[in-house]
Amino acid sequence: MAKCIHVLIVDDQRLLREGFRKLIEMEPDFEAVGMAGDGEEALAVAERLHAERTAPDVVLMDVRMPRMDGIAATRAFKERWPESRIVILTTFDDSELIHAGLQAGALGYVLKDITAEQLATSIRAAAQGQVLLHPDIASKVIASLSSVPTETAVTPATPPSIGGSDLAQLTEREREILALLAHGASNREISEALYITGGTVKNHLSNILGKLGVRDRTQAALKARELGWM
């Protein structure tokens, strides 16, 4: 029998919390183990769940909440429990919020108007550690990250081989792919987000590796992160 996926729901609107709980409990392999109305309450609930050995596998986190918002709560969860897999649920597609949430450690974002089937798929993917970016949100991430000026992204402590000149060699499409790669997106996820074929993604990745002077996608992602793209 497959392991039950424990889900913690965090949203300041009680009606939405209850709605998500009902949707989650319709799935035989899901269990809503807790609910909270803000980030501070979520941390307290998670502490209790960990003590009871029913720690959440996935945390559905609202963004705008009183006392402690979803960005601050995500950061606190990752500091307290680094293995936390957090998906931010939002009605907003604000690029600054998106970038802040991903920097805080969220696996990704999904919009609150997704279907029950899409929600279930997202929770299962998050439980496996997969990055989650709704197509509408992916475009915001790409625009936000691929527009970062290379000369301001490099810090004095950055080795010469990670200089802005490396990124300057990349085409706009290659910068888009590297931005998504830095957030852990797979070839399939990049393909879907950019509406290109898997073969095209592979070709671009090969060019990116050559231009950045790295051996594999992991090193490319690390270089992008060191440049402040994550």
pTM higher than 0.75: no
**What tokens were used for 51?**
């003590």
Q: Which residues pair with 30 in a beta bridge?
A: 5
**17-48 per-position pLDDT tens digit:** 999 999 999 999 999 999 999 999 999 999 99
> What's at 122, amino acid-wise?
S
Cβ within 8 Å of residue 98, ≥6 positions away:
109, 137, 140, 141, 144
> Under DSSP, is residue 76 helix (H, G, I), strand (E, B) or coil?
helix
**What tokens were used for 168?**
């300057």
∠ CA 62-65-71 to the nearest 5 degrees?
Answer: 60
> What's at 173, amino acid-wise?
R
- What pLDDT sits at residue 58? 97
- R_g (Cα) of the chain, nearest Å: 18
- Phi, psi values for residue 30, rounded to 5°: -115, 150
CA 13 to CA 36: how far, in whole Å? Answer: 10
CA 189 to CA 170: how far, in whole Å? Answer: 20
> What's at 119, amino acid-wise?
L
> What's at 190, amino acid-wise?
I
- What pLDDT sits at residue 148? 46
Report all structural domains of the chain as residue ranges with CATH numbers, in order of start. 5-133 (3.40.50.2300), 141-226 (3.40.50.2300)
**44-65 per-position pLDDT tens digit:** 999 999 999 999 999 999 998 9
**183-213 per-position pLDDT tens digit:** 777 888 888 888 888 899 999 999 998 888 8
Q: What is the 3-state secondary structure (H, E, C) of 113-169?
A: CCCHHHHHHHHHHHHCCCCEECHHHHHHHHHHHHCCCHHHHCCCCCCHHHCHHHHHC
CA 191 to CA 18: how far, in whole Å? Answer: 35
